[in-house]
Amino acid sequence: MKFSDLTLQIQQTSQAMQQSAMLAVNSHLTIRNWLIGFYIVEFEQKGEDRAKYGERLLQNLAEKLNEDGLSFRNLKLYRQFYFLYPQLSSYISNFLQLADNKTNIIGQTLSAQLEEEIPIRQTVSAQLGNISSDKLINRLSFSHLTLLLPIQDPVKRRFYELECIKGTWSVRELNRQIKTLYYERSGISKKPEKLEAEVQSKSERNNWLETIKSPFTFEFLGLKSKDVVYESDLEQALIENLQEFILELGHGFCFEARQKRILIGEKYYFCDLVFYHRILKCHVLIDLKVDEFSHEHYGQLKTYVNYYKKEIMQQDDNPPVGILLVTDKDNALVEYATADSDKEIFISKYLLELPSKEKLINFIKTEISKL
């Protein structure tokens, strides 16, 4: 064996084991969430003391369990997942029976409980054509599936399942295709096969490493939310240096959080950097985009600012302020957002203490030239 052969062998083995581990984590997460949904529904239908909890069942469960991954929002999601994907029952039952002795008991119980229910609940699924449970669990992450749950039309949901699996789409790509009405456009297209070829050729492929970084996976593995990182290497390098840059400026900045997770409605968002300014007595939220400016970016930052004003700001605090840093290869831009943009006195006061646009633009240009 040559040295080059040894190197290749180690690389291939390492990559294969990494991918296998990632796929295992994803499938176990999906199976766990389906089972939780099953247990909840079973209790709602047959629990001895179910009447005692009624509509507050999920709230009481979340409070009792007291785990990030088992929040009220997530329990509600798992319940919905179970209802919409009954066809996974046989696969999950078999999976559990092949597992260790502890889960084998769960598998046997599950098989017995679902024996009569499965044929009835799979009728709609069978009418749409079959996607094997193995593909649904191992080719789609739970983050993919959560984007499909709000789709009420089973035919439309099946369309996106098939296209996502065929194209190995990333979660971001699936979300983009749903929002740009790919299903509807395909339905009215004179040549849907041509549209499909174009969409698939330009689609962003799934990166299992990014999937593992999802909030669901981190919570499942018991990791802290601050470890969840979505940005590219360039963004990460900029954020790391930006954090130091802001603190070195002084002006009363106190670092509070990085990749701050914010739950708005049913969706998680992440603000890159959060500071508290002890002179201005307000939070300063910084969001960085390695991209050209869009009103969507500014609107998102404005949403963070309004969220902090409503949910986080204390009585003696001033309204929060946001700083949006946008950059592409040829340009850099800084935009400020405040929760009280109609009050000139706040804007004037903020601009005296916050870094100037010129300083931030120069910082971005300098850092990009280094990278």
The model's pLDDT over 210-263, given as tens digits with 9 standing for 90+, comes to 666 677 777 777 765 544 444 455 566 677 778 777 877 767 888 888 888 887
- Report pLDDT for 364: 76
128 or 335, higher pLDDT: 335
Q: Which residue has the tokens 């699936």?
A: 174
**What percentage of the chain carries pLDDT values higher than 90?**
15
| Residue predicted with more confidence, 92 or 49 | 92
The per-residue pLDDT of the chain, averaged, comes to 79
What average pLDDT score do residues 88-94 get? 85
Tokens coding 216: 């669901």
Tell me which range, 29-38, 48-57, 188-197, is most confidently predicted by mean pLDDT.
29-38
Single-letter amino acid code for the residue at 79: R
Output the pLDDT for position 34. 94
Token pair recorded at residue 262: 């914010």
| pLDDT computed for residue 230 by the predictor | 46
Are 141 and 26 contacting, i.e. CB atoms less than 8 angstroms apart?
yes
Strand residues in the chain grouped as ranges (E): 253-264, 267-277, 282-290, 321-327, 332-338
pLDDT in tens, 339-350: 765 555 556 666
Cα distance between residue 110 and residue 108, in whole Å: 5
Structural domains in the chain? Answer: 3-212 (no CATH), 229-370 (3.40.1350)
Question: CB under 8 Å to 323, separation ≥6 — which residues?
Answer: 284, 285, 286, 287, 301, 334, 335, 336, 337, 354, 355, 360
The pLDDT value given to residue 81: 94
Q: Mind listing the pLDDT tens digit for each residue in 291-325?
A: 677 778 888 888 899 899 888 888 888 888 888 88
- Give the pLDDT confidence of 257-269 residue by residue, as tens digits: 888 888 777 677 8
Place of tokens 């309004």: 306
pTM score over 0.75: no
The pLDDT value recorded for residue 209 is 66
DSSP assignment string, 218-239 = HHHTT--GGG---S-HHHHHHH
* pLDDT at 162 > cutoff 70: yes
| pLDDT attached to residue 151 | 92
Determine contact, residues 62/27, Cβ cutoff 8 Å.
no
pLDDT > 70 in the chain, percent: 79
Query: What H or E segment, with its residue span, contains residue 100?
Result: none
